[in-house]
Structure 1
């Protein structure tokens, strides 16, 4: 579908697609602005939404913005342009995390996006359905079944991460148990840390266009095998009886070779690419980030035997109920006035 111009309605659709991406605690830490002279959508960090205690280096913020950038690329391609992304395009403006220029028509053999200009990578097959999928993707904090994911699906998820300059690995049962033990240790620390509890509690809210309402929080695993974040410890009114989760959780490890800001943004794009492909195949996903919030635990998540480099996210995969979606702010609330536009 090729539009003739980037009008206000199309820009709103592009931004709405971008903000359908996941973000830590659904903080939605992004802002968008159009540069009409170059037909470029700029993506900035909304630093007032940062989790300064949980995420002091803003690594998770960069992952969140990277996920939004990938959705933006998919939407730009859907509307007929070739998305040309750049990461950290202006060293003089560190808050400008990325930009996506709307170039000529999308070639028939290109992916919905493709890698950023400064990081050539393998381009996956064109998947136009990802635009439809991004509106349906959301985390499920409910139990999954023990039905295994087919090998070809797992291979496609691995390829999706690789296309964005990241690596996705699937540890064996023993390594997965170790990852879950580290996640459980991180969860115990976070629940016992007053500053982190207070910060997280602020984002559990009802009737707001951001944060997490009680309906999305989910129960805990009665066996403790799958240590999801225990928001009921922060808001006891949202407590749900513990239930049995899958016996053999499937955990994918998303990692990058380096650990710089650009790598975090690439990891965010890889994360969303993986999540969308999983959703396209009918799989459910949830994110286990707790151990990444403690530097010592994040370090020991690495497994040199499996070439786990700098771990950026643990992704739980499986089949099960869809679960409710988290709210999103309207596009108008996250879109700044176009550059060069006179104030009225």
Structure 2
């Protein structure tokens, strides 16, 4: 959620201060959380094929950036993936569906990265074990490089307004192998209204809002210390923090200026959306959820290859009580009877955004 602006703004008592010139430039230069972004630069810096692939896999998209993966390096060419249950989202994801979608993203990115070392990942989901593992993976020699591997480090979830530019029909058809693409005005308008109302529901349900606010990292120092959750950084937002406009406390209070400004920014972003894509499954078991995550990851790399932006807006798919009307509407709009909508995303042309903070690989290895 790091935002860039040409000028650093601070709202003070209803007034507006604009920091420009050398002072603003110097401030901006010091706001990058380099420690939290280091795993992006370290990806691939390992001789061990498992660590090589895993160093890329930890860059995968996942809900609230919780990074819920733990790795047991059992023996040569093999490892076991576990779910870090301390990183669950009990209020917005009470049945852990989104967490398992994120684990699927991790497994697919690992699989793609392994091909850069001419390894094929053989994945056994939910192997029998008293420790409740998610998957056991063996890296076998051989196999061609996956073409999508070239786009791993450029992959983003673009949480910015998109250009007023349609997604070409040819590209929409091409992306249809991943999910259902919606580009017609009436369809887009209905989904846009759904995503907005669902987001407001999450924001105005105290326990779900608090779950997100508790995971917000305010500014460079917090982001470097805890490079997960929702990062709020960059010169623009840190100026608002210094001014006392953006604080953890006012993000929990819908009457504050900081809260209302956040709503305006998010509404502007959601409104600037020319197309959507929905990923569904015929059932909704753990394998379906992981498979949906693997498909979402490939979609994200494919949109990167095509110069498109992708941003998950899956609030309407959350399964807490207050969201139920939106959940029902999402399935009426986006799925066939009996199907489960696993992911919903904005599609369009957006700006290049910074990478998202990550924990170093060593912190995700159980027996390092």
Q: Could you tell me the TM-score, scaled by structure 1's length? A: 0.76
Partner of 1:227: none
The answer on whether the counterparts of 1:140 and 1:324 sit within 8 Å (CA) in structure 2 is no
The answer on whether the counterparts of 1:73 and 1:100 sit within 8 Å (CA) in structure 2 is no
Could you say what secondary structure the match of 2:230 adopts? coil
Inter-partner Cα distance in structure 1 for 2:333 and 2:275:
20
Partner of 2:84: 46
The answer on whether the counterparts of 2:63 and 2:99 sit within 8 Å (CA) in structure 1 is yes
- CA displacement at 1:8 relative to structure 2: 5.6
Inter-partner Cα distance in structure 2 for 1:264 and 1:144:
28
Structure 2 unaligned blocks of 5 or more: 1-45, 238-249
Compared CA separation, residues 258 and 331, structure 1 to 2 (3 A):
same
Partner of 1:27: 66
- CA displacement at 1:90 relative to structure 2: 2.5
Structure 1 unaligned blocks of 5 or more: 1-6, 113-125, 162-166, 220-231, 339-344
The answer on whether the counterparts of 2:280 and 2:335 sit within 8 Å (CA) in structure 1 is no
Could you say what secondary structure the match of 2:307 adopts? coil
Compared CA separation, residues 247 and 80, structure 1 to 2 (3 A):
closer
- CA displacement at 1:298 relative to structure 2: 2.2
**Larger Rg, first or second structure (1 or 2):** 2
Kindly tell me the number of residue pairs found equivalent between the two proteins. 294
Structure 1 vs Structure 2 CA RMSD: 2.9
The answer on whether the counterparts of 1:292 and 1:298 sit within 8 Å (CA) in structure 2 is yes
- CA displacement at 1:92 relative to structure 2: 4.6
The answer on whether the counterparts of 1:62 and 1:261 sit within 8 Å (CA) in structure 2 is yes
The C-alpha deviation readout for 1:77-124, integer Å capped at 9, x for no partner, is 111111222222226543x11233212300x5xxx6xxxxxxxxxxxx
The answer on whether the counterparts of 1:17 and 1:71 sit within 8 Å (CA) in structure 2 is yes
Partner of 2:287: 262
The answer on whether the counterparts of 2:227 and 2:358 sit within 8 Å (CA) in structure 1 is yes
Asked if residue 300 in structure 1 is aligned to residue 329 in structure 2, the reply is yes
- CA displacement at 1:323 relative to structure 2: 2.0
Q: Could you tell me the TM-score, scaled by structure 2's length? A: 0.72
> Which residue of the other structure, out of 140, 143, 148, is the alignment partner of 1:103?
140
Could you say what secondary structure the match of 1:317 adopts? strand
Compared CA separation, residues 100 and 186, structure 1 to 2 (3 A):
same
> Which residue of the other structure, out of 357, 360, 367, is the alignment partner of 1:327?
357
Alignment of 1:1-344 (within 5 A): 9-36=48-75, 39-90=77-128, 92-94=130-132, 96-106=133-143, 108=144, 126-127=146-147, 130-159=148-177, 161=178, 167-170=179-182, 172-205=184-217, 206-207=222-223, 208-215=226-233, 233-234=251-252, 239=261, 242=265, 244-245=268-269, 249-294=274-319, 296=324, 297-303=326-332, 307=336, 309-337=339-367
Could you say what secondary structure the match of 2:310 adopts? strand
Could you say what secondary structure the match of 2:110 adopts? helix
